[in-house]
């Protein structure tokens, strides 16, 4: 519990006792009397003022913390992009030099060719044979069968294969 919270709790209890005494005296409906008595007999208003100051300080800390988080997230994103560019440069160098494995003192780098992947150019052109009927929400494309047929050099409208890609694996020692 912060000092401001403690002070408010202590003064709230004092104000409750005063309120009970005022109501016992028959003037429990006089709002101005209650407010004046609480203000004059307790430090509740000062405690609430201190609590508001603490809230303001906390809001400043929150804003600063959030700004710092955004800054750090920007740095993390930029660093990830830099790593991606470095990996791409290593991959291009290995392809150009026809190297599939490089053994370095700190890592082993392996370049492997990936199988061609499915590219959907226009779903509406894909024949009905490649669609699986479902009750809801709509028919589902059977990508496995479609990919298999394309790999067997069958021509299917609305779909094709890409040229395949490379995968770079870094194993640290």
Query: pTM of the full predicted structure?
Result: 0.55
**Three-class secondary structure of residue 163 per DSSP:** coil
Q: CA–CA separation, 167 vs 169, rounded Å?
A: 6
Tens-digit pLDDT profile for residues 80-128: 999 999 999 999 999 999 999 999 999 999 999 888 889 999 988 888 8
28: pLDDT strictly greater than 70:
no
Q: Cβ–Cβ contacts within 10 Å for residue 15, how many?
A: 21
Residue 40 above 60 pLDDT? yes
What is the model's pLDDT at position 81? 97
**Burial annotation 72-97 (CB, 10 A radius, 16+ → b, else e):** eeeeeeeeeeeeeeeeeeebeebeee
Could you tell me the maximum CA-CA distance found in the chain, to the nearest angstrom? 97
Residue 5's pLDDT band, with cuts at 50, 70 and 90, is: confident
Highest-scoring range by mean pLDDT, 2-11, 57-66, 125-134, 161-170 = 57-66
Q: For residue 124, what are the contacts with CB-CB under 8 A and spacing of at least 6?
A: 158
Q: Mean pLDDT across the stretch 17-46?
A: 69
Q: Domain ranges for the chain, please list them.
A: 3-82, 100-172
Band of residue 30 on the pLDDT scale cut at 50, 70, 90: low
């Amino acid at each position: 519990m912060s000092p401001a919270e403690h002070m408010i709790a202590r003064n709230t209890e004092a104000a409750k006792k005063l309120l009970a005494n005022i109501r016992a005296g028959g003037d429990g409906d006089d709002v101005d009397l209650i407010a004046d008595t609480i203000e004059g007999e307790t430090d509740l208003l000062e405690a609430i003022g201190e609590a508001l100051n603490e809230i303001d300080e906390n809001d400043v800390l929150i804003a600063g913390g959030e700004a710092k988080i955004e800054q750090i997230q920007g740095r993390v994103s930029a660093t990830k992009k830099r790593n991606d560019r470095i990996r791409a440069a290593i991959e291009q160098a290995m392809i150009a030099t026809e190297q599939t494995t490089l053994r370095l003192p700190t890592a082993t780098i392996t370049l492997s060719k990936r199988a061609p992947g499915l590219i959907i150019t226009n779903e509406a052109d894909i024949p009905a044979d490649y669609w699986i009927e479902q009750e809801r929400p709509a028919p589902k494309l059977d990508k496995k069968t479609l990919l298999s047929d394309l790999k067997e050099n069958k021509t299917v409208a609305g779909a094709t294969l890409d040229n395949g890609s490379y995968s770079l694996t870094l194993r640290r020692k």
